[in-house]
Chains A and B, each alone.
Chain A
Amino acid sequence: MYDRKNQRNLTRTEKRRLVGAILELKRSGRYDDFVLLHREFYVSDGEDRPRAAHMTPSFFPWHRQYLLEFEKALRAVDPAVSVPYWDWTSDNTPGASLWAEDLLGGNGRPGDRQVMTGPFAYATGGWTINDGVSEQPFLTRNFGRPSSPVTLPGKDDVARALKDPVYDAEPWNSVSGTGFRNRIEGWGIRGSRGVSNHNQVHRWVGGSMSGAGSPNDPVFWFHHAFIDLLWVRWQKAHPRSGYRPGARTGGSGGDRERVFGLDEPMPPFGVAPSALLDHTRLYRYV
Chain B
Amino acid sequence: MGRTRDATGTAAARRGVSRRIVLRSVFTVGVTAGTAAALGPVLAGDPDEPVPASGKARGTEPERFAETYRGREIRGAVTVVVPAGGRGDAVRAAGAADAVPHLDVRVDGRPLHIMRRADGSYVSDVNHYESFPTLLATARAAVDELGSAQLAAAPPRHGT
Q: Do A and B come from one complex?
A: yes
A interface with B by C-beta (< 8 Å): 30, 33-34, 36-37, 39-50, 55, 69, 111-113, 130-136, 140, 142, 145, 147-148, 171, 173-175, 186-190, 195, 198-200, 202-203, 206-207, 210-214, 255, 267-270
Please report whether the interface of chain B is mostly helix, strand, loop or mixed according to DSSP.
loop
Supply 7 further A-B pairs (C-beta < 8 A) apart from A44-B117, A212-B128. A45-B118, A47-B97, A135-B152, A188-B131, A202-B129, A203-B127, A214-B129
Q: How far, in whole Å, are A37 and B158 apart by their CA atoms in the complex?
A: 9
- Given A268-B7, A268-B9, are A40 and B150 neighbors across the interface (CB < 8 Å)? no
Q: Please, which residues of chain A bring their CB within 8 A of the CB of B127?
A: 203, 210-211
A134 engages B150 (CB within 8 Å): yes
Task: Work out how many contacts link A and B, with CB atoms closer than 8 A.
Answer: 152
- Assuming the contacts A133-B126, A210-B145, asked whether A33 and B13 have C-beta atoms less than 8 A apart, the reply is no
Q: Are A44 and B97 in contact (CB under 8 A)?
A: no
A142 touching B145, Cβ below 8 Å: yes
| B106 located at the interface, meaning its Cβ lies under 8 Å from any Cβ of chain A in the complex | no
A43 in contact with B147 (CB, 8 Å): no
Is B67 part of the contact surface with A, judged by Cβ < 8 Å? Answer: no
- The CA-CA distance from A267 to B97 in the complex, in Å, is 22
Cβ-based interface call for B84 (8 A): no
Contacts of B145 in A (CB 8 A): 142, 145, 206-207, 210-211
Q: Does the CB pair B149–A40 fall under 8 Å? A: no
Which residues of B, 18-41, contact A by the 8 Å Cβ criterion?
Answer: none
Q: Is B98 an interface residue (CB 8 A)?
A: yes
Q: Are A133 and B117 in contact (CB under 8 A)?
A: no
